[in-house]
Chains A and B, each alone.
Chain A
Amino acid sequence: MTGAQTLEYKGKVLQFTPENPAEADIPADELHEHLQNPSTERTRRLKACCRWKHASAGEFCEKGVTAGIERMRLLTESHWDTRGKPEPIRRALGLKNILEKCTLVLQPDEFIVGYHAEDPNMFPLYPELSYMAVQDYLKSKYSPQPAKEAQEIVDYWKPFSLQARCEPYFDPVDLRRGYQVSTIEGPVFASGYNSVIPPYETILEDGLLARIALAEKNIEHARAEMEKFPWNAPTGLEWIDKIDNWEAMVIACKAVIAWARRHARLCKIVAERFETDPKRKAELLEIADICHRVPAEPARGLKDAMQAKWFTFLICHAIERYASGYAQKEDSLLWPYYKASVIDKTFQPMEHKDVVELIEMERLKISEHGAGKSRAYREIFPGSNDLFILTLGGTNGDGSDACTDMTDAILEAAKRIRTTEPSIVFRYSKKNRAKTLRWVFECIRDGLGYPSIKNDDLGIQQLLEMAKYSRNGNGVTPEEAHYWVNVLCMSPGVAGRRKAQKTRSEGGSAIFPAKLLEITLSNGYDWSYADMQMGPETGHAKDFATFDQLWEAFRKQYQYAIALAIRCKDVSRVIEGRYLQMPFVSALDDGCMELGMDANVLSEQPNGWHNPITTIVAGNSLVAIKKLIYDEKKYTMEQLMDALKANWEGYEEMRRDFKNAPKWGNDDDAADALISRFYEEILGGEMMKNINYSGGPVKPVGQAVGLYMEVGSRTGPTPDGRFGGEAADDGGISPYSGTDRKGPTAVLRSVSKVQKNQKANLLNQRLSVPIMRSKHGFDIWHAYMDTWHDLNIDHVQFNVVSTEEMKAAQREPEKHQDLIVRVSGFSARFVDIPTYGQNTIIARNEQDFNAQDLEFLNAEL
């Protein structure tokens, strides 16, 4: 019905003409170019000169983006100078050296200030993490200069790097398999990829001076305890590490205050000595005042809060250590300052529209934020910078609706300024107010691909369930469990002053069932990409007399790969705790402050997870094999293997049979039963037998990001009818693109059958532009969402974009700079995605809503 304008439903004839009549005059193939509406001329200007840092296929899309050398240089200088000191203090002094000596950046028009490299076209590197990742940069056109010095730095750090320190604990064969990124994502220590949930609440509420005072008081107490008579070594010696950690916190916090105040000085100098525009001069002096006060002191108004939060982000995500993400419950975090500035007008008085402008500026700061990630991560989020995802909505600790006017301001800003980042997660609850849901819908309808929607109740429940595994009995309370955010794109984690996830070693990284199935058919051998043994020898498929034998062989491959993957994370965790302390992050965490522990070491709320990606290629393949080989015996396994080795050439009829076997997402009981069992028994059941550092089971988070393209390209032909090198399925639980043929509610019914042993599963759906932009769009979407919620489904995210517009953008990319699409877990500028990836989005089924669908949704139209 996507092309039609009418539908008969419950005795009425529904018209699907645009809700905004003016849109009837806009050509369908350029709609997105007409949707931007920045709230002020300032944000329009800022967007026009935004220094985008999108990456794709390992390359940066914009010219002139390059790695900087300053962070590497200053960290190395300090590391050399601090030999012999305790490791936490070395880390703090390293941060201090960087913040004291680094170049600061101030751009025209901006209100939120601060950048993490010596030039706004640059990004920093992290030689202390992965030596391979940094060496790759030095061989590329993005190498920091001077190249000779950069090489000396990399050579210096190699033995001290996280990667070099972790590698000895693994068999080189296992490492080589992990480095492929075909059966599992590369070990965190080999890429340096990371995530963190900074305790923004602490810095906004307390300010750093208060944290310094706390740490100093703790040190004083510790020393007094150590000096007591009689001396008791078992307890007395425990103070040593704590004192080191507290000292490190003090050094780090003082360094951050001084660095923030350097920004104040810069703004003041430019205002008083160079700026000629009186309005901008006054504004620079205001910024100077803010940067002098925060984050040293608590935030008092919304401008304070935004600046303190931004400084904290830069340190936690880019200067102290690299971390992807922008995890925060932004509406709740900023609500007290919205109240102070907009409602009570007691400090930094402003109107709601000024808040929208501030958030637009924040979005543009994020869009300029270059990430010095390894090549793998420059491949797997094509068309975007990095995974910057904030969370909104949901419910408060007392169960009430958490949506406020701050929520609406963030959503309105996103709709107006149209950037790919930060992406937004909305925690959907039946208690959410209609006004905010309307904003959520309008962002989705405008094709932003976000908010991505998470089930609020499920997030709360899983945090409470994991709390019981807490190593120190201090897991989240029921109230704290309501304060959850997505750590990156899919997995909930608690946020706030304490207990939040501080390292990706806790949860994250991926495993690839499609590739595992491929090697299962060949005795664990990867014939299609690496030409090497990739897993245990579990037999050749032609010798599996029953489907159960194949199932069990896959189980063994999966067990090997998942245990290796989780072991990589936990070994990294231990080494991070020894050598990669985060004294600034630790200073903000109330648990670390109380206990004198580093943030990598302390674990109070387990949050272990791992991401199966490319599951549906494997699932659909198992369904086809069972049907055509073991049940109907139409083909033998030997015939299938011959066809796969030939990439189906000469086997067209056979390929059609395998391609036309029942597919996931069509509410087909037989296919869904087998695939649900696959999810629950193997992907979840086997994964959960592994216990991580924090003492809890590791649970599956079905995902994709752009890995469905990368791993697809490293996976040979598969029994679902796929050719070698074709993309895999684009979401954790999404039907394979184009194979969901029974409509959107059939997809929901299939997905709702997977319930057990899961943490999360990503569902991509593409909705019709004419339907969503009609006057019935919101009501249909709302009915869909309520049904989704009641079916106990974890997640859904939407593309609302026409094929004709995407194809027009392929022909003339320069005319479609504002076309944004949802890839999977993140949104991207369509024209910055390689053609291969663009075609996977075009191939996604655009869902029609027929009368039966609307009946199932109980839509009142």
Chain B
Amino acid sequence: MSATPHTQVHWEENTPSPCRKCKWQTPDPTDPLRGQCTVNRHAMGGVWKRWIRDVEHMTCSRHEEGELSFRDHV
């Protein structure tokens, strides 16, 4: 991936800002231990998801606590 590592999801053991609590995260379609990061949104409307291997121990610099409406997800 071309973006600098910290703006994309990365492993950080026992992070205080896990993806699970982030508003841009939505659960994995199959495995509840994993997730999907939706923070990468293109001006033209694309939502380029990234897989989150572990929603408890991954984070990134764009973490924001909260929840999005289903209207803002895919």
Residue positions of A touching B, CB distance < 8 A: 56-59, 61, 132-133, 135-136, 139-140, 179-181, 186, 190-191, 374-376, 379, 527-531, 645-647, 709-710, 712-714, 716, 723-727, 834-837, 839
- Within 41-74 of B, Cβ neighbours of A (below 8 Å) are at 41-42, 44-51, 70-74
- Binary interface profile of B, 1-32, with partner A (CB < 8 Å = 1, else 0)? 11000000000000000000000001111111
Say whether B50 contacts A529, CB under 8 Å: yes
The 9 A-B pairs with the shortest beta carbon distances in the complex, nearest first, are: A725-B48, A376-B29, A57-B73, A725-B46, A726-B46, A724-B48, A179-B30, A59-B70, A136-B32
Choose from A375, A724, A725, A836 the contact partner of B29 (Cβ within 8 Å).
Answer: A375
Bound complex: CA A186 to CA B29 (Å): 9
Q: Which B residues touch A59, using CB under 8 A?
A: 70, 73
Say whether A530 contacts B51, CB under 8 Å: yes
Choose from B41, B47, B70 the contact partner of A61 (Cβ within 8 Å).
Answer: B70
Residue positions of B touching A, CB distance < 8 A: 1-2, 26-32, 36, 38, 40-42, 44-51, 70-74
- Among A140, A181, A379, the one with the most B-chain Cβ atoms within 10 Å of its Cβ is A379
- Give the number of A-B contacts (CB < 8 Å): 110
Nearest Cβ on chain B to A723's Cβ, whole angstroms: 5
Q: Which B residues touch A716, using CB under 8 A?
A: 48
Q: Which A residues touch B28, using CB under 8 A?
A: 179, 375
Say whether A528 contacts B70, CB under 8 Å: no
- Among B1, B30, B44, B70, the one with the most A-chain Cβ atoms within 10 Å of its Cβ is B30
Nearest Cβ on chain B to A292's Cβ, whole angstroms: 43
Bound complex: CA A132 to CA B27 (Å): 12
Say whether A181 contacts B30, CB under 8 Å: yes
Q: Which B residues touch A839, using CB under 8 A?
A: 45
14 contacts between A and B (CB under 8 A): A57-B74, A58-B27, A181-B29, A181-B30, A191-B30, A528-B48, A529-B51, A531-B1, A713-B46, A713-B47, A713-B49, A714-B51, A716-B48, A724-B48
Nearest Cβ on chain A to B49's Cβ, whole angstroms: 5
Say whether A57 contacts B29, CB under 8 Å: no
Say whether A190 contacts B27, CB under 8 Å: no
Say whether B31 contacts A132, CB under 8 Å: yes
Say whether B51 contacts A180, CB under 8 Å: yes
Using known A-B contacts A527-B1, A726-B46, A839-B45, determine if residue A834 contacts B73 with beta carbons closer than 8 Å: yes
Q: Which B residues touch A140, using CB under 8 A?
A: 27
Say whether A726 contacts B44, CB under 8 Å: yes
Say whether B30 contacts A834, CB under 8 Å: no
Q: Which A residues touch B49, using CB under 8 A?
A: 529, 713-714, 725
Say whether B44 contacts A835, CB under 8 Å: no
Nearest Cβ on chain A to B45's Cβ, whole angstroms: 5
Say whether A835 contacts B72, CB under 8 Å: yes
Given contacts A375-B30, A836-B45, could you give 18 more A-B pairs where the C-beta distance is less than 8 Å? A57-B26, A59-B70, A61-B70, A136-B27, A181-B29, A181-B30, A376-B29, A531-B51, A709-B74, A713-B38, A713-B47, A723-B48, A725-B42, A834-B70, A834-B71, A834-B72, A834-B74, A835-B72
Bound complex: CA A834 to CA B6 (Å): 28
Q: Which A residues touch B44, using CB under 8 A?
A: 723, 726
Say whether B42 contacts A724, CB under 8 Å: yes
Bound complex: CA A58 to CA B3 (Å): 28
Bound complex: CA A829 to CA B40 (Å): 27
Say whether B30 contacts A132, CB under 8 Å: yes
